[in-house]
Amino acid sequence: MIHIAPSILAADFSRLGEQVRETEAAGAQRVHVDVMDGHFVPNLSMGPVVVEGLRPRTALPLEVHLMVEAPARFIPAFLKAGADSVIFHLEVVPQPGALIADVRGRNKKVGLAINPDMPVEAFEPFLGDIDLALCMTVFPGFGGQAFIAESPERIRRLRALIERHNPACELEVDGGIDHDTAVAAVRAGANVLVAGTSVFKYPQGPAAAVREMKRLVG
């Protein structure tokens, strides 16, 4: 099954709970929370208080993507606030075994992410230990960017590695995912689609955006 993960970075924060509930009713399967520290990426975004506020508002899993230099400092607070999974970057934790084990020891799911300039083969030693591999399809830091054209080939290579080492591992893509690129990403092997601008800025509203994306990707 293909999962749609609306990224609340693009939501109207004055109506955040309402908009998340709209996407849930339309069939979204999780909520993606982008966390930026102004160091690993040139922007700042939300903290654990946002997860804490959303937790009673939705039954969907809350997935926290840590685009930060020191994820180990942030993970306990986000899990305490109600996150169901955390994703951190191999660029800042090149030996992630201890942190993966720590998250799993808290009975939460854990994922690894890489930026477009890192080879997907960097995932290979860790695929047996994680729940999700996130292949960025833009350079992180800002919403609304265009999907990098070379991404489908990277997704295909990562899918082959996952099938070899841990077929249960999800392959998530994030960046420039809209109603056209979602189809290309799924054809290449992605099964979780993070979509922000294309969902929350959709002219007919976020619920219509989720329903249309689900229709297109089957």
> Which residues are catalytically annotated?
34, 174
C-alpha–C-alpha distance, residues 150 and 135, integer Å: 12
Do residues 82 and 106 make contact, with C-beta atoms less than 8 angstroms apart?
no
List the 109-114 sheet strands across, edge first.
Answer: 3-6, 192-195, 170-174, 132-136, 109-114, 85-89, 62-67, 31-36
Per-residue DSSP letters for the chain? -PEEEEBGGGS-GGGHHHHHHHHHHHT---EEEEEEBSSSSS-B---HHHHHHHGGG--SPEEEEEESS-HHHHHHHHHHHT-SEEEEETTT-SS-HHHHHHHHHTT-EEEEEE-TTS-GGGGGGGGGG-SEEEEESS-SS-SSPPPPTTHHHHHHHHHHHHHHH-TTSEEEEESS--TTHHHHHHHHT--EEEESHHHHT-TT-HHHHHHHHHHHH-
